[in-house]
Amino acid sequence: MIRVLKGEAAAVYVSSLERRNSQLHAIEPAVRRIITDVRRRGDQALRAYAKKFDGLQAKQPLRVARGEMRAAWEKAPPQLQHSLEKAASNIRRFSQWQKPPSWIRPNGGISLGQLLRPLDSVGCYVPGGRFPLISTLLMTVIPAQVAGVKNIRVSSPRPSQEVLAAAYMLRLREFYRTGGAQAIAALAYGTETIARVDKIVGPGNSYVTAAKKLVSFDCAIDMLAGPTEAMVVSMKGNPQFIAADLRAQAEHDPETLAVFITASRRLAGAVARELARSDATNDIATQSLTQNGAILVAHSLKQAFAWANRIAPEHLTIERDNLGLVENAGSIFLGDYSAQAAGDYASGPNHVLPTGGAARFRGGLSVVDFLKLITVQQLSRKGLKRIGPVVIKLAQTEGLRAHAESVRLRCADA
d(CA 87, CA 206): 28
Beta bridge partners of 115: 374
- Tell me if residue 383 falls in helix, strand or coil: helix
Question: How far, CA to CA in Å, does 38 sit from each of 46, 157, 176, 344?
Answer: 6, 16, 15, 33
Q: 28-99+119-220: which CATH topology?
A: Rossmann fold (3.40.50)
CB 76 within 8 A of CB 165: yes
CB 159 within 8 A of CB 68: no
pLDDT, tens digit (0-9, with 9 covering 90-100), for 205-250: 999 999 999 999 999 999 998 899 999 999 999 999 999 999 999 9
Q: Which residues of 90-126 are buried (b: 16+ CB within 10 A; e: fewer)?
A: bbbebbeebbeeeeeeeeeebeeeeebebbebbbbbb
Domain boundaries, the chain: 3-22+226-348, 28-99+119-220, 381-413
pLDDT, tens digit (0-9, with 9 covering 90-100), for 169-188: 999 999 999 999 999 999 99
d(CA 184, CA 220): 11
Distance of CA 61 to the CA centre of its chain: 29
Catalytic residue among 68, 162, 174, 315: 315
pLDDT, tens digit (0-9, with 9 covering 90-100), for 28-65: 999 999 999 999 999 999 999 999 998 899 889 999 99
Confidence at residue 283, expressed as pLDDT on a 0 to 100 scale: 86
Q: Does residue 142 carry a pLDDT above 80?
A: yes
Q: Does residue 353 carry a pLDDT above 60?
A: yes
Q: What's the rounded mean pLDDT across residues 259-280?
A: 91
pLDDT classification of 20: cutoffs 50, 70, 90: confident
Q: Does residue 376 carry a pLDDT above 70?
A: yes
Q: Is 315 tagged catalytic?
A: yes
**pTM reported for the whole predicted model:** 0.94
Q: Does residue 387 carry a pLDDT above 80?
A: yes
pLDDT classification of 280: cutoffs 50, 70, 90: low
d(CA 263, CA 317): 15
The alpha-helical segments, DSSP class H, found in 190-236 are 206-215
CB 142 within 8 A of CB 88: yes
Q: 3-22+226-348: which CATH topology?
A: Rossmann fold (3.40.50)
Q: Is 314 tagged catalytic?
A: yes
d(CA 176, CA 183): 9
CB 183 within 8 A of CB 152: no
Catalytic residue among 314, 319, 327, 403: 314
Whole-number CA gyration radius for the chain: 25
Confidence at residue 414, expressed as pLDDT on a 0 to 100 scale: 58
Confidence at residue 277, expressed as pLDDT on a 0 to 100 scale: 85
d(CA 404, CA 210): 47
Residue 219 amino acid letter: C
